[in-house]
Amino acid sequence: MQSPSARTTFSASTSPGPRFAGAASASDGGGILSRLKRVKKTGPNSWTALCPAHADQNPSLSIRVASDGKILLCCHAGCKTESIVTAAGLTMGDLFPAESKPQRRRIAATYDYAEADGKLLFQAVRYEPKDFRQRRPDGNGGWVWNLQGVTPVLYRVRDWADADTVCVVEGEKDADALLALGIPATTCAMGAGKWREAYNDTLKGKCVVILPDNDTPGQAHAAKVARSVKSCAESVKILELPGLPEGGDVSDFISRDEQPGLTLRELVDSAPLYEPPEHEAADRGLMCELVDVATYAMTEPPEPDAILSGVFDRGDKVALLSKSKMRKTFFASQLALSLAAGQDFLGLPVPKRRTVLFLNSEIKATHFHRRTRRMLEAMGLCADDVAGQLWIANTRGAAVGIDWVERSALAVNADVVVFDPLYKWTSGDENSVADVKPTLAAFDCLAESTGAAVLYVHHDCKGAAGDKDVRDRGAGSSVLSRDYDAAIVLTEHRDDPDAAVVGFLLRNYAPLPSMTALWEQGCFQAADNLPAIARTSANRSQYADKVAELATQGLSDAQIAEQLGCDRSTAYRLRKRIQGYATD
């Protein structure tokens, strides 16, 4: 969380909602004011309002439009600007001036998701240029731009609840097109790959016909739905429509057929029943192989393909955990560069050069570029050392999913795929087992289909990290802390503000002792002279008193180092944080 005085500058724009159809102007706070509550004008082009990112009772959000059209947002309770924008139903792009944007988003269609009795639960909102968001009624005639507390349902349940046969398509537009022809049809919100087991109850006892889009995500989605509903449906079919172009869908078929209703009914009737592939175990790890234990007794297991010796192998899932501002992205980047160069990492052996796909989903591409160049220099590496071994995908704001990641990993023959950070690749509530498990299952499939290790960077839960067991680190559902094969955790060092205690929790290898990594001259270095003592709520206050006492005595860095039992450079860094310790 930002400090109470933190302020971030962005540019004004139109919003994605219908009330932002015109150009942004200073008179309405760039359009953001209509999304906020208890707005009060405090001066020329400035206002206060309730912050939508937390349970605000007294207006703590300041909004100001600068003379050049930029908007200054400041939550005095410390909420991040990204959180404020998301909670208001906007995106970062919506904060740029209208004249600076080549295209202005507009609502093209809204799709109601309601219970069988017609009660509206939420809407899927389609924009042009193509994009989708979800919103729910706020009970006062407005909208909340998230699905918090909403149990998702299938589309237009009321229109097909009594039907014996129901078509499942990918997208509301396709479902509407079929229903217009008198063919019962539905879909799930948020597109391919978002099917939930909870939807199956609505389809219990029905003949389910799945019509996939003609692309890899569509076919994977169809297979997922078929496997999911097979246990409860009367029958299941997957109907691949003939003559579709690459990426084509039901709507394309309808537009090209002279009698689409008649043709579709004939195709549905003649489509074969779905049966799981005989060798589905090799198809994305969806089934398992039965092995006679005698085989284990008579054969040697294959040797693991170690990525970082004694820590993790190809095909493993790895979590990198730490609180904010612990340089975990730098840590992940340095690990990736070390693997790419075949260079030992903090004293841990890297057996050979590896190919790494690094998905940077949080930092702007230009800043990540600059950081990477600096780290290469700090590590003493040049282009030839890592050429063809480390591939960067700057996915911030990009419409890519796990299927795209899989294809990219296979294309570069990746040994490791890094997701930084995890929350950019999940949907729903990270505290919900039901919302977290699909992402972890997708990582399992990715590791199975590519053979690569999957490493995800994740933030800590609230509280003093040093007080917690490694198993309790990492925000969100406890499923996250039980799923990985290896966890690497960074904790503040008790004595040195530029050092981190690196701990490990390993499923497949013997325990490793914690070590100290010191951030120095642009990269992490193993610091054998600093004992691996993590900062806790107890020793933090004790150490603060000692530092404050030494400071009042006017001791030099060398004298402080002697008193504390550390080296002079550590003492120097400690002096920079004396005031911070004293006021914690």
Tell me the CATH number at 189: 3.40.1360.10
* 375 and 466, same domain (yes or no): yes
- The three state secondary structure string of 328-342 is HHHHHHHHHHHHHHC
Please give the pLDDT value at position 332: 98
Long-range contacts of 200-204 (CB under 8 A, 24+ apart): 200/228, 200/229, 200/231, 200/232, 200/233, 201/232, 202/153, 202/154, 202/157, 202/161, 203/154, 203/166, 203/168, 203/229, 203/232, 203/233, 204/232, 204/233
State whether 47 and 163 are in the same domain. no
Give the per-residue pLDDT at 283.
Answer: 44
Based on the fold, state whether residues 545 and 518 are members of the same structural domain. Answer: no
Same domain, 395 and 459: yes
Sign of CA dihedral 96, 99, 100, 103: positive
pLDDT of residue 511: 93
497 by Cβ neighbours in 10 Å (0-12 / 13-18 / 19+) ranks as middle
Q: Say yes or no: 235 and 350 in one domain.
A: no
Domain tally, the chain = 4
- Answer yes or no: pTM beyond 0.85: no
pLDDT tens column, 161-200:
999 999 999 999 999 999 999 999 999 988 777 788 889 8
Is there a single domain that holds both residue 441 and residue 504?
A: yes
pLDDT-flagged residues of the chain (< 50): 1-26, 100-102, 279-287, 541, 579-584
- Domain boundary residue, one of 82, 104, 126: 104
Domain boundary among 48, 76, 104: 104
**Confidence at residue 25, expressed as pLDDT on a 0 to 100 scale:** 44
In a domain, 291, yes or no: no
Q: Is residue 119 part of a domain?
A: no
- Claim to verify: residue 555 and residue 463 sit in the same structural domain: no
Instruction: Tell me: do 491 and 560 sit in the same domain.
Output: no
Residue 237 lies in a domain: yes
Question: Is residue 185 domain-shared with residue 310, that is, in the same domain?
Answer: no
The answer to whether residues 241 and 332 belong to one domain is no
Decide if 232 is inside a domain: yes
pLDDT of residue 418: 98
What pLDDT does 369 receive? Answer: 96
- Are 436 and 504 in a shared domain? yes
Single out the residue in 104, 139, 173 at which a domain terminates. 104
326 in any annotated domain: yes
Q: Is residue 407 part of a domain?
A: yes
Give, rounded to a whole angstrom, the gap between the first and last alpha carbons of the chain.
16
Indicate if 174 and 257 belong to the same structural domain: yes
Asked if residue 117 belongs to a domain, the reply is: no
Question: Helices (H) and strands (E) in the chain — how many of each?
Answer: 17, 24
Residue 207: inside a domain: yes
Print the domain residue range for 225. 152-280
